[in-house]
A and B are shown apart, each in its own frame.
Chain A
Amino acid sequence: MAGSRLKPCFDNLRAQQRTALIPFITAGDPKPEVTVPMMHAMVEAGADVIELGVPFSDPMADGPVIQKASERALAYHTSLRDVIGMVKEFRKQNEQTPVVLMGYLNPVEIMGYEKFAQEASAAGVDGVLTVDLPPEEAEDVMDIFSSNNLDPIFLIAPTTTDDRIKKVCSVASGFVYYVSLKGVTGAANLDIQGVADKMKQIRAHTDIPIGVGFGIKDAETAASVGSVSDAVVVGSALVNKFEEFADKPDNIQKEVVAVLSSMRSALDSGMEKAASK
């Protein structure tokens, strides 16, 4: 098989000197039927890759916003299998936009790594980011993922040492995800210079595209982070809208599209990044 959609997607973006916009939403939030149409709408609004959160009862690395999104989705018992089903549904109309599942290990563990990898791959999933699975614990999983054309996406944090950056980059594929601040999703303010320095440090070890997430609040932060990275991941800023309009799900799409569109145009107009590279 030909590998996931992530590499061609990032190659293409690089050729155009374009920064990828990666929205994160929790699958099944605020109810299951919202998710697939939302994915299509986000692509329309300029998303290059979609990160789909798999709800988990104990999302230890997430802040209150995404935690509540999990709770709303779990009220409908949205399972890992359901999320894979949503990707399959999405693929009926969209063959090219990469989809990454982001979540915690336990739902994958109980489904079984092999079975999960086969079903996810067959449905059209391209990458898997398991927040609580550092490379040290991932050896068996990585073989299974790669033989099923799934890219394992790993995190790098501000606290990650140079040695570990090397280690993470040596096993990562698709892209690496730089967690731009100490803390949980949706927290505090970004230190752009700090991010830029870390990008240089990571780039010394790898050519893999680097996505930056945690703390991308608005078009302005998206543009400044985008000027030093290959991709910006925006989660809590979107999921906030799901919370705000949870009882009027029909309005969420319009709100999310507005946030994404503003980020897209900010990214596209602030494209002096070639110079900074």
Chain B
Amino acid sequence: MNQKSAFDYSQYNLPDTSGHFGPYGGRFVSETLMAALEELREAYEHYLKDPAFLKELDDTLANYVGRPSPLYHAERWSRELGGAQIYLKREDLNHTGAHKINNTVGQAMLARYMGKKRIIAETGAGQHGVASATVAARFGMECVVYMGAEDIQRQASNVFRMKLLGAKVVPVTSGSKTLKDALNEAMRDWVTNVDNTFYIIGTVAGPHPYPAMVRDFQAVIGREAKEQCMAQTGKLPDALVACVGGGSNAIGLFYPFLADKDVAIYGVEAAGSGIETGKHAAPLCAGEPGVLHGNRTYLMEDKDGQIIETHSISAGLDYPGVGPEHAWLKDTERASYVAVTDDEALDAFHALTLIEGIIPALESSHALAYAKKLAPTMKKDQVIVVNLSGRGDKDIHTVAAREGITL
């Protein structure tokens, strides 16, 4: 499966009609869900061309989410690093503080157009859960969020936010009690309540059409960034950098640039304590292809095919799989996937906070950490666009605890 395939610059149009990106993606689910996935695919393909749907989506993104998000030239930090100019795509300024809402707005609208009254979601750190609970409140829908019991302990304030927004948060106590188990549990709910329930998956993984659909809702990031970069610098960026857990903010930025050959693309995974320690969350850098959560992709697994636990300081990157389109972009070498450690991410977290006055999410800090390495290797007139996918307020307790500070 790892044979090299060429990336098709002239007409990249994946996934194919059955949801495959080369050997990746697809629909690996039990029979009960096949009809629901087919219904969803039809609705999504229909409404993505429906002018009324698109107009409402644009209005909501503009006036509720706060788009377009700025593209900000981090001049001081760029000067300090002494190389390429770093521009930050400010997804942290969206309503709810991260890119997640671009997708939940789209899917909740789709649910409403499809006549589904109940939405469910899985969440790790709670960001996607909050974004789902937010749109459920906005559209007046019932919302149930599945969250690992471990994560509920670690993210008490997000749990409270979801409850304030009217969502029911269900603790998941099976398996490793984290994001992957929450996803399993949400799938089980969906299988059981498939008639009236819409499952909002938070990332570009899962069975077809989710990876394509979530990408299409997130691609607004890249479309705006392209326009803004042209307007501010008069050219396309030389490189894009984004962190990759499931990979939705990354694919959102990358997708509109895939056909632009001269734009280098870097996805940054979580190396945790270091790839060599085995304590990481970097399936593209150190995993193998397999099948989990409805799609074929790179996974963190043991020799028997059991999914193994991941480690990262950033809860949002703590996932053993990755979106199948990233797997394909890796194999075709259209994008490069690299990994940075917890310590490197923390360094970048502090750097951006001190030098630019922007507190980044720990997830986004992984992208920043790689940009910090990349910029000095490039010329001063070159441009790197980094996706600042979320704000770091949610992470200050983690950072404080890590540094032995009691708040």
Q: A158–B180 contact, CB under 8 A?
A: no
Min C-beta distance of A132 to chain B, whole Å: 4
Please measure, in the bound complex, the distance between the C-alpha atom of A47 and the C-alpha atom of B314, giving whole angstroms: 50
Q: Quick one: which of B290-338 are within 8 Å of A by CB?
A: 290-294, 296, 299, 301, 303-308
B373 lies within 8 A of chain A by Cβ? no
Please measure, in the bound complex, the distance between the C-alpha atom of A79 and the C-alpha atom of B303, giving whole angstroms: 9
Min C-beta distance of B115 to chain A, whole Å: 16
Q: A132–B291 contact, CB under 8 A?
A: yes
Residues in chain A near residue B306, CB distance under 8 A: 56-57, 74, 106-107
Q: Given that A77-B304, A80-B304, A137-B26 are known contacts, is A184 also in contact with B192, CB under 8 Å in the complex?
A: yes
Residues in chain B near residue A59, CB distance under 8 A: 184
Min C-beta distance of B49 to chain A, whole Å: 24
* Residues of A in contact with B, size category: 35 or more
The residue in chain B whose Cβ has the minimal distance to the Cβ of A82 is B304
Please measure, in the bound complex, the distance between the C-alpha atom of A60 and the C-alpha atom of B33, giving whole angstroms: 12
Q: B31–A67 contact, CB under 8 A?
A: no
Min C-beta distance of B288 to chain A, whole Å: 7
Contact with A179, one of B31, B180, B294, B308 (Cβ below 8 angstroms): B31
Bits for A78-96, please: 1 = Cβ < 8 Å to B, else 0.
0111000000000000000
B73 lies within 8 A of chain A by Cβ? no
Of A38-46, A149-157, A199-207, the stretch lying at the interface with chain B is A149-157
Q: A159–B174 contact, CB under 8 A?
A: no
Residues in chain B near residue A137, CB distance under 8 A: 26-28
Please measure, in the bound complex, the distance between the C-alpha atom of A102 and the C-alpha atom of B195, giving whole angstroms: 27
Q: A157–B32 contact, CB under 8 A?
A: yes
Bits for A114-146, please: 1 = Cβ < 8 Å to B, else 0.
000000000000000001111011000000000
Contact with A136, one of B18, B193, B296, B299 (Cβ below 8 angstroms): B18
Please measure, in the bound complex, the distance between the C-alpha atom of A111 and the C-alpha atom of B194, giving whole angstroms: 33
Residues in chain A near residue B304, CB distance under 8 A: 77, 79-81, 107, 110
A61 lies within 8 A of chain B by Cβ? yes
Residues in chain A near residue B140, CB distance under 8 A: none
Contact with B34, one of A71, A81, A111, A160 (Cβ below 8 angstroms): A160
Residues in chain B near residue A105, CB distance under 8 A: 28, 291
B285 lies within 8 A of chain A by Cβ? no
Majority-rule SS of B interface residues? mixed
Q: A182–B31 contact, CB under 8 A?
A: no
Min C-beta distance of B324 to chain A, whole Å: 13
Q: A134–B305 contact, CB under 8 A?
A: no
Q: A110–B27 contact, CB under 8 A?
A: no
A164 lies within 8 A of chain B by Cβ? yes
Q: B32–A110 contact, CB under 8 A?
A: no
Q: B36–A159 contact, CB under 8 A?
A: yes
Q: A110–B28 contact, CB under 8 A?
A: no
Q: B194–A132 contact, CB under 8 A?
A: no
Q: B28–A107 contact, CB under 8 A?
A: no
Q: B307–A58 contact, CB under 8 A?
A: yes
Q: A106–B291 contact, CB under 8 A?
A: yes
Min C-beta distance of B175 to chain A, whole Å: 7
Q: A187–B192 contact, CB under 8 A?
A: yes
Please measure, in the bound complex, the distance between the C-alpha atom of A136 and the C-alpha atom of B27, giving whole angstroms: 8
Please measure, in the bound complex, the distance between the C-alpha atom of A74 and the C-alpha atom of B184, giving whole angstroms: 17
Residues in chain A near residue B192, CB distance under 8 A: 182-184, 187
A161 lies within 8 A of chain B by Cβ? yes
B29 lies within 8 A of chain A by Cβ? yes
Residues in chain B near residue A8, CB distance under 8 A: none
Q: A132–B29 contact, CB under 8 A?
A: yes
Please measure, in the bound complex, the distance between the C-alpha atom of A158 and the C-alpha atom of B306, giving whole angstroms: 30
Please measure, in the bound complex, the distance between the C-alpha atom of A136 and the C-alpha atom of B191, giving whole angstroms: 19
A109 lies within 8 A of chain B by Cβ? yes
Contact with B29, one of A134, A154, A160, A168 (Cβ below 8 angstroms): A134
A63 lies within 8 A of chain B by Cβ? yes
Please measure, in the bound complex, the distance between the C-alpha atom of A171 and the C-alpha atom of B311, giving whole angstroms: 42
- Identify the interface centre among A74, A134, A136: most chain B CB within 10 Å of its CB: A134
Q: Given that A60-B187, A71-B175, A136-B18 are known contacts, is A109 also in contact with B30, CB under 8 Å in the complex?
A: no
Please measure, in the bound complex, the distance between the C-alpha atom of A56 and the C-alpha atom of B180, giving whole angstroms: 13
Q: Quick one: which of B15-71 are within 8 Å of A by CB?
A: 18, 26-36
Q: A182–B32 contact, CB under 8 A?
A: yes
Please measure, in the bound complex, the distance between the C-alpha atom of A164 and the C-alpha atom of B305, giving whole angstroms: 30
Please measure, in the bound complex, the distance between the C-alpha atom of A132 and the C-alpha atom of B306, giving whole angstroms: 15
Min C-beta distance of A181 to chain B, whole Å: 9
Q: B301–A110 contact, CB under 8 A?
A: yes
Q: A60–B184 contact, CB under 8 A?
A: yes
Min C-beta distance of B261 to chain A, whole Å: 33
B76 lies within 8 A of chain A by Cβ? no
Min C-beta distance of A100 to chain B, whole Å: 16
Contact with A61, one of B180, B191, B301, B305 (Cβ below 8 angstroms): B191
Contact with A109, one of B29, B35, B194, B305 (Cβ below 8 angstroms): B305
The residue in chain B whose Cβ has the minimal distance to the Cβ of A63 is B188
Residues in chain B near residue A156, CB distance under 8 A: 31
Please measure, in the bound complex, the distance between the C-alpha atom of A77 and the C-alpha atom of B34, giving whole angstroms: 31
- Identify the interface centre among B18, B195, B292, B301: most chain A CB within 10 Å of its CB: B292
Q: A131–B30 contact, CB under 8 A?
A: yes
Residues in chain A near residue B191, CB distance under 8 A: 61, 182-184
Q: A159–B288 contact, CB under 8 A?
A: no
Q: A67–B30 contact, CB under 8 A?
A: no
Min C-beta distance of B181 to chain A, whole Å: 8
The residue in chain B whose Cβ has the minimal distance to the Cβ of A56 is B306
Apart from A61-B32, A67-B174, list 20 A-B contacts with CB within 8 A: A58-B180, A64-B174, A67-B175, A71-B175, A105-B291, A109-B289, A109-B291, A109-B296, A110-B303, A134-B28, A134-B30, A134-B34, A136-B26, A157-B30, A159-B31, A159-B34, A160-B34, A182-B191, A182-B195, A187-B192
A selection of 7 A-B contacts at a CB cut-off of 8 Å is A61-B30, A106-B307, A110-B303, A133-B28, A157-B35, A160-B35, A182-B32
Nearest 6 CB-CB pairs, A to B? A107-B305, A110-B305, A183-B192, A155-B31, A157-B32, A79-B304
Could you tell me which B residues sit within 8 Å of A by CB distance?
18, 26-36, 174-175, 180-181, 184, 187-188, 191-195, 288-294, 296, 299, 301, 303-308
